[in-house]
Amino acid sequence: VTFYGQPEHSVITTCAYCGVGCGFKAEMKGNTVVRMTPWKDGKANEGHSCVKGRFAWGYATHQDRITTPMIRASIHEPWQEVSWEVALTHAASEIKRIQAKYGRDSVGGITSSRCTNEEAYLVQKLVRAAFGTNNVDTCARVCHSPTGYGLGQTFGTSAGTQTFKSVEHADVIVVIGANPSDAHPVFASRMKKRLRQGAKLVVIDPRKIDLVASPHVKAQHHLPLKPGTNVAVITAMAHVVVTEGLVNQAYVAERCDDKSFQQWCDFVARPENSPEAFEADTGVPAAELRAAARLYAQGPNSAIYYGLGVTEHSQGSTMVMGIANLAMACGMVGREGVGVNPLRGQNNVQGSCDMGSFPHELPGYRHISDTTTRSLFEQAWGVTLNPEPGLRIPNMFEAALDGEFKALYCQGEDIVQSDPNTQHVAEALSQMECIIVQDIFLNETAKYAHVFLPGSSFLEKDGTFTNAERRISRVRQVMPPMARYADWETTVKLSEALGYPMHYTHPEQVMAEIAALTPSFAGVNYAKIDRLGSVQWPCNDDTDEAGTPTMHIDRFVRGKGKFYPTQYLASSEKVTRRFPLLLTTGRILSQYNVGAQTRRTANNAWHSEDLLELHPHDAQERGVKDGDWVGIESRAGRTVLRALVSERMQPGVVYTTFHFPESGANVITTDASDWATNCPEYKVTAVQVVAVAQP
């Protein structure tokens, strides 16, 4: 434990870990953070915090920070430290050289959900206006892109419908493919408080997560589905609602599109969509599923919260639409205590998506082919924009392997470690001629990079993050950037080096531009956020001053809510005699994502390796005991972990976290992906597990 001394002043800022977006007071002595104290007026956390936000901020000044730009001619040569001017000029000339040789669309960029809204906006502007291509994507591609698609299709916009506080009015809470106790701890506490007051709980998850049975909370129904069968479960729940007369007819008649509703009813009512028909595939007892569906439909207020166990599947978008269908049919959207709520894993997943980081959308989820929107941005930016969508991240890899994609600007995202099928990603990156990595640490992706631009932590910059409830909160600089520039400044400098100067001197000006060009952000400005603490988009002249706590109150954003049939298709990952188990993945409380931050803090002492959880039956069959080393082999690759024998698992299903690069969780995940968005199917991998000697 380091003693930093007594604080002299404090600065209110926002946690840079998960999508709860807790407010913190950074208590300072000079330019040094003494401690982080949860902010009692923070609307997302009301004075609460977890072990990540409270204690794991020391990575920001860790000795591994890279503070000098570096370049090299090839990835086989050592890095050379250079000045910012040399690094930026070199990066810009490489982009220009490659575009001159291979064409305008041979380059692209990736924005980060770790960075601020303003930084994500600037990266997509750089790619579209300075590079002249729509080849921009966000790391949300690999987590919540199906939320964007599914909620966009059904409700008309890609966002959670409620505030976190809304859970205090829920009578029934349904948690699907999420483990809030580990991944969203402060919200989990709020949820548990409501459960202790008597709200009922349904958990749909292959594992017995903490919420299923903890000392103070017990789920009325746990549906322990087999990985990959989400769509069958949600369709079977819809079957129960429709065939047992549980539809909220008045709500549907007033709020929803009648034709699509009738088609959906006809579809889900078919006998092949009943809980009994799906029992063998899902492993969920039909009677339990029927009881859970009745509980949800009868509410009176039922709220759904879901996570990556919904989205990271080949049918991720179908499942999101299935959830939205069910909520609309039961009249569970548009007031407090109900709703459909994606729990965002990273601090600014919502924001990076809002800011136009997708190759087909400009800020505010407006399609690039829309002439009116495009001309608005063309006028503001002084360029002509391509009306055709660009490449998604996996398409960039494919194009690189085809020799057509040659340069990538990657800000705050370690694609080698976080994207599926690591070998495939590495092979694609090896084919590129210029990879520019901007990060605070020399990450795994930097092994394939030619230019390294030092990044900045959340303590070194101003800006905003948007949490899972659409709440926009300020990030405030508490210390000067360790490497001279905050991330937003680096993007501005790179743009200038490319001959497209951006004239910003502070992120507040960037937010003013976002507000001027994006109707749902029209009322967002720093002065208002400073005064109110935070605002929730949509925030404009049509909403309250602080924005919109509950969405779709009188009408859905798209007008009438639209239903989509959800045909269940079994995952292509089949268990066989060679690969008889299904691997699924998740998070643990003390660590965060690929561990780049938490592993460099005292949190590492609590959980310092990824483990393979397996059921006692599967362990016994393989002669594996708790703590033994096991080899895990899939069709994509092989890795070695220590075993954790646990009754939390069901037989036939194994589980691991993905916080340690040396564990190589993504060496074994496949590159199957969601049909609509290419979000990887991390949650279903057929594997074999065998006892091995210590590696």
Residues found near ligand SF4 in the complex (CB under 6 A): 15, 17-18, 20-22, 45, 49-50, 52-53, 184-186
Considering the complex, state which of residue 529 and residue 589 has its C-beta at the smaller distance from ligand SF4: 589
Q: How far, in Å, CA of 172 to CA of 338, rounded?
A: 9
Instruction: List, edge to edge, every strand of the sheet that includes 136-138.
Output: 80-81, 70-71, 451-454, 434-439, 407-411, 107-111, 136-138
- Only one residue has tokens 């000006």, namely 509
Considering the complex, state which of residue 18 and residue 596 has its C-beta at the smaller distance from ligand SF4: 18
Least distance (Å) between residue 584 CB and ligand SF4: 22
Least distance (Å) between residue 344 CB and ligand SF4: 10
Least distance (Å) between residue 347 CB and ligand SF4: 7
Considering the complex, state which of residue 49 and residue 235 has its C-beta at the smaller distance from ligand SF4: 49
Considering the complex, state which of residue 35 and residue 294 has its C-beta at the smaller distance from ligand SF4: 35
Least distance (Å) between residue 51 CB and ligand SF4: 7
Considering the complex, state which of residue 144 and residue 424 has its C-beta at the smaller distance from ligand SF4: 144
Least distance (Å) between residue 415 CB and ligand SF4: 23
Least distance (Å) between residue 27 CB and ligand SF4: 15
Least distance (Å) between residue 353 CB and ligand SF4: 18
Q: Is the peptide bond before 538 cis (omega within 30 degrees of 0)?
A: yes
Structure tokens at 467: 């949490």
Q: Decide: 683 and 228 in contact? Cβ < 8 Å.
A: yes
Considering the complex, state which of residue 164 and residue 563 has its C-beta at the smaller distance from ligand SF4: 164
Q: How far, in Å, CA of 461 to CA of 47, rounded?
A: 23
Least distance (Å) between residue 601 CB and ligand SF4: 12
Structure tokens at 553: 């109150």
Considering the complex, state which of residue 49 and residue 669 has its C-beta at the smaller distance from ligand SF4: 49
Considering the complex, state which of residue 15 and residue 486 has its C-beta at the smaller distance from ligand SF4: 15
Least distance (Å) between residue 405 CB and ligand SF4: 35
Taken as a whole, the chain contains a residue count of 695
Q: How far, in Å, CA of 193 to CA of 574, rounded?
A: 40
Q: How far, in Å, CA of 345 to CA of 179, rounded?
A: 11
The backbone torsions φ and ψ at residue 605, rounded to the nearest 5 degrees and listed phi first, read -65, -25
Instruction: Give the CA angle between residues 303, 253, 232 to the nearest 5°.
Output: 50
Considering the complex, state which of residue 57 and residue 563 has its C-beta at the smaller distance from ligand SF4: 57
Least distance (Å) between residue 301 CB and ligand SF4: 24
Q: How far, in Å, CA of 264 to CA of 325, rounded?
A: 8
Instruction: List, edge to edge, every strand of the sheet that includes 32-38.
Output: 9-14, 23-29, 32-38
Considering the complex, state which of residue 226 and residue 344 has its C-beta at the smaller distance from ligand SF4: 344
**CA distances to 158, 163, 496, 505 from 146, in Å:** 9, 21, 35, 36
384: number of Cβ within 10 Å = 11
Instruction: Give the CA angle between residues 402, 404, 407 to the nearest 5°.
Output: 120
Structure tokens at 596: 């780049």
Least distance (Å) between residue 185 CB and ligand SF4: 5
Element holding 231 (H helix, E strand): helix 230-243
Considering the complex, state which of residue 421 and residue 467 has its C-beta at the smaller distance from ligand SF4: 467
Least distance (Å) between residue 467 CB and ligand SF4: 8
Burial status of residue 544 (CB atoms within 10 A of its CB: 0-12, 13-18, 19 or more): exposed
Considering the complex, state which of residue 21 and residue 595 has its C-beta at the smaller distance from ligand SF4: 21
Minimal CB distance residue for ligand SF4: 53
Considering the complex, state which of residue 79 and residue 306 has its C-beta at the smaller distance from ligand SF4: 306
| Helix intervals (H) in 140-285 | 145-154, 180-183, 185-196, 230-243, 249-255, 258-268, 275-282
Instruction: Give SS3 for 181.
Output: helix
Q: How far, in Å, CA of 307 to CA of 176, rounded?
A: 7
Least distance (Å) between residue 44 CB and ligand SF4: 7
Considering the complex, state which of residue 139 and residue 644 has its C-beta at the smaller distance from ligand SF4: 139
The backbone torsions φ and ψ at residue 445, rounded to the nearest 5 degrees and listed phi first, read -65, -30
- Only one residue has tokens 């964007």, namely 148
Q: How far, in Å, CA of 228 to CA of 584, rounded?
A: 9
Instruction: Give SS3 for 148.
Output: helix
Q: What is the CA radius of gyration of the chain?
A: 24
Least distance (Å) between residue 359 CB and ligand SF4: 29
For CA atoms 173, 176, 182, 187, give the dihedral sign. negative
627: number of Cβ within 10 Å = 10
